[in-house]
Each structure stands twice: as C-alpha cells, then as structure tokens.
Structure 1
Amino acid sequence: MTTVTPAVDPSSGLRSDGGPDLDHLSRLAALQAAVLAEVPDADPRAPVPACGRWTVTRLVVHLARIHHWAAGQVRRRQETPLGRGPFDLAPFYAAQAAELRDTLAALPADDPAWTLLGTGPVSFWHRRQAHETLIHLHDLRAAALGSGPRAARERSVDVPAAAWGDAVDEVVGMFLPRQVALGRAAPLASSVRLTATDLGWSWRLGPADTDPDRDAAAELRAPARELALVLWRRLTPGEADARITGDAGAVTSLLDDRLVP
C-alpha cells in the first residue's frame, strides 16, 4: 500500500497541503475523559513503565500540570501556580483538563498563542495536547497492567491509525528539529526512513544535505501506533515487532537520542 504522507505545518499542527485536518480538539476531550474514567481505579503507587521512577500519582499530576501550563500558553499569560500537593487525583485532573479544554474552545484556532516554537496559532496546542494525552493514557494503562507492551496489545488507546501517524509526524517535524536546535539531540549522521505500514506513510530523517533521491541508510517499519510508541520510548523496536532494514546502527543511533523532551 502506498499513499501520500500528509504534509503538516509543525508551527500550527494543520495540514499545509490542502488536505483535511484531524479534529484534535474533539480527540483531546475524548482522551481526557478516558483518563478521568480510569484514575479512580488506578493504584496511585503503581510504577509507570518507561517513565523511570514515576508512579501513577506523578503521571496524573504531571498531565494535569501540563494542561494547566498549556492553558496559560494559549492565553499568553504565566499560569497561576497550583501548589505542591498532595492532590485528590481525580478532581485535580478534572479541573485542569476542563480549564484547558474550555480555554481552547473559547478562542479561534488562528488566534496568537505562545508555543514551543515561539508565537504561533492556538491550533498548535490542539494537536500538542491531544498527543500528550494520548501518550499518557497509554502510560496509565501500562501502569495498570505492569507492562507497556501488554497495554499496546490488550488495552490500546482506541484512536484511528491516522492519529497515531500524526503523532509520528509531530516527533519528526516538530520535536526532533527543536531538540537538535536546543542542543538536546545530535544532528543525524545517517538518513533513516520511518514507515507506518498500515497507512503507507513514510518520513525521511537525516542530514540536510542528503540527496532525497538516494535510498535511506536504514528503514524502520511498523504500524503507526507502534511506530509512535517506539519514538516516544514506550516500546522498543523488538516489542513493537518493527522491521529494520539496512544499517541497524543508524536506527539505534536515532532512537538512543532525545527525540522528545
């Protein structure tokens, strides 16, 4: 299967090729509702796989704080400190989720906001917060099952493959260039192609002077969901049953770097 990979403007999160945009705002609301539904039954002390020493408590508080901070970025105002806690997790998360959702809904998508790339449109945060919530809902389920691979297999977050593909695109088009610009990641020495096998979409990463007509040094192939979780270090390529062809070292070098904050 071969299809045209959507071209998305990283500064707005919107298609730049005239294609239909994903409804990130509706997806954000649905993902927030899913998080809130699962928090009351979650063990607050359960460790979160792939997140170091994080527990469920720290995960939920982090996501709530990120929502609150992002709402301030949208309004171009410093957010009001929320305090150190401890917090009653479900009401605390519900309040910050609602604040973000209501803030985004109240403003035109093209209004100016503070973004991770400087001043840009509010729509940037529709996409960024939908993906933030998507990844952390996976984390919450991984904590409940004690395993990221089990969560991906048995309790995968139910969003279309195109939403997972867009999460891949955000890493490739926004996060990785930003990480390199901030000195948090090294420029790629070899070209790597990422292919979402269920969508037929692919992205080529590599040195700026790489001949686009030459084959990449390596390719990493997996369904969009697994590819996104690999880039976010929630799954290894082996856990994702990803296929690597060409220079496996180029893929390892890519994934060992800090692709996301």
Structure 2
Amino acid sequence: MTDNHLTDGDVTNSDVTDYNFQIQSEAARLGALADDPSIPVPTCPGWTIAELITHVGQTHRWAVHVLRNRVQEQIWSRQVPSGLGEGEHGDAAWLAGGVAELLETLRVTDPSTEVWTWGPDKRASWWPRRMLFELVIHRADAELALGVVPEIPAGVAIDGIEEFLHNLPDAAWVTRTLAGQGVEGATIHLHADDADGEWTITQGPAGKISWARGHAKGDAAVRGPVGDLLLLLYGRRSPDALTVHGDRDLLGRWLSAAAF
C-alpha cells in the first residue's frame, strides 16, 4: 500500500504558504545562476543555462494558466504562451516575472479547486509542491553545470523524495518504460544517513510502483545523504557516489527507467 506524504485530505493553507515561500527562495537561487546563459547543462543533455531557465519559466506559466482558467483537460506547457519571441530564451528577469505571477496565482487560488494535473491529485493543491521540486532539481542542474555542489535541506529533500514517489505511478511516460524492464516484484530501499528517512519501493505490474516509509530489506539498497538520494531518483547523482548493497544491475536499470 502506498504511503504518501500528502493525500487528498492533507493539504492546508499553511502548507501552501510554506511552499510559496520555498518557491520564491529557490527561484531566486536559480535566477542568480543565470549570468552566463551559454553554459551547457550536462544533467540535461543538449540544454544550456538559457534553455534551462526557459523551461522552468515556461513551466511556471503553464501552472498559472491551469489554475487561473480552472483547466480540466490535459494541457502541456508547450501549449501555453511564454511571452517570448520565436527562438528567444528566457533570462533571470523573465524567470522572476513568471515566479511572481505564479506566487500571486497560488495565493488567491483555493487549494481545493478541481483542476487538471498529471499526478494523482486533481486539485490546485498539487501544483505548489510540484513547482517547488521542479525548481529544486533544476537549480541543482544549474549548480552542477557551474561546478557547485547542490545543497538541499534535509526536510525539503525528504518531501521531494515522497513527492516523486507519490507522482511516479501517474507518470505514464515513465511507467511505460518501467513496464519493459522485467522487474515486477523487485524492491529498492533508500536509507538516509543524515536524516530520519527510509523508504522501500516495490515495483508492481504495468510499470506502477508502491512505496512505504520505514526500514526494510530490498533487492537493492542505497544509503547516503538525503539530498543525494533525491538527486539519485531524478538521475542527477550516480549510485556510484553512494553506498549500494544488493543487486546493482537492478538498481541501475530501475533508476534509468524511473528518472524524469
């Protein structure tokens, strides 16, 4: 049975306010890394810092569009106007403008409003958490591109791991790949060595996963700082940089298929 950090009845206005504060902080950190837009981003192959900034800012405008228009049908970020000309990339000021618009929209939107999401929770309260971790991971991408070691507070990283696992079963582009791995029934255990965090992921049928908090033995197990475990799930940290027990091949194949 999946043990989720936030379920349909758990989001409160105070939760949303906290996410808003973190979104503002993370966006400022990312914007401060945009001085040289031409730098390649190795963890996002083919992208430069400029393209990374453009992607993040476009994602914010997508969320604003969904929330303001109470969108009920699937829509993707590329379908939403960006305010940029053909071939133009966003910069720090453009990113900041989108963040301000996002934060104001989140502030005035009732978290219980029913809207489209690609995750399991079809309410406005899904969006601030998702937007935060979009920023956290892409801020880490920019830092890695610049040779800076990303620092993610333990509480944020724990929430990020659980947000990833909560949404993963509904990420159809991921579950299709996982379904082809032939690992149904396999278990992967994550163990933070700098925070109170342990999770066991069980691969189910049709590429779907379930997960639970707590100590357990997995077919593969990874131990390390909780921020690195979050980056590992997103394909930004190699398991070789952490302590791995059990089936390394299983772990590598699962991580490659699950990262998004």
Aligned equivalent of 2:124, options 122, 125, 129: 122
Task: Provide the C-alpha distance between the structure 2 equivalents of 1:184 and 1:220, rounded to a whole number of angstroms.
Answer: 22
Matches within 5 A, 1:60-75: 60-75=53-68
Task: Provide the C-alpha distance between the structure 2 equivalents of 1:216 and 1:226, rounded to a whole number of angstroms.
Answer: 19
TM-score, normalised relative to structure 2:
0.79
* Structure 1: gaps spanning 5 or more residues: 1-5, 146-150
1:8 aligns with 2:37: no
* Contact 2:37–2:49, Cα closer than 8 Å, also in 1: yes
Aligned residues: 237
Deviations 1:156-203 (A, max 9, x none): 24x420111111112222125534785243274311111122223111
* Contact 1:45–1:57, Cα closer than 8 Å, also in 2: yes
1:108 and 1:62, CA in 2 relative to 1: closer, same or farther beyond 3 A?
same
Corresponding residue number in structure 1 for 2:194: 198
Corresponding residue number in structure 1 for 2:237: 235
Corresponding residue number in structure 1 for 2:23: 28
Q: SS of 2:104's equivalent?
A: helix
* Contact 1:196–1:227, Cα closer than 8 Å, also in 2: yes
Task: Provide the C-alpha distance between the structure 2 equivalents of 1:12 and 1:139, rounded to a whole number of angstroms.
Answer: 33
- What is the RMSD of the two structures over their aligned residues, measured on CA atoms? 2.9
Deviations 1:66-90 (A, max 9, x none): 1101111223247741243414512
Query: What amino acid is the match of 1:164?
Result: A
* Contact 1:11–1:124, Cα closer than 8 Å, also in 2: no
1:48 aligns with 2:52: no
TM-score, normalised relative to structure 1:
0.79
Task: Provide the C-alpha distance between the structure 1 equivalents of 2:196 and 2:153, rounded to a whole number of angstroms.
Answer: 14
User: Runs of 4 or more off by more than 6 Å in structure 1?
Assistant: none
Identity, % of aligned positions: 25
* Structure 2: gaps spanning 5 or more residues: none
- Displacement after TM superposition at 1:45 (Å): 0.9
Corresponding residue number in structure 1 for 2:33: 38
Task: Provide the C-alpha distance between the structure 1 equivalents of 2:55 and 2:245, rounded to a whole number of angstroms.
Answer: 37
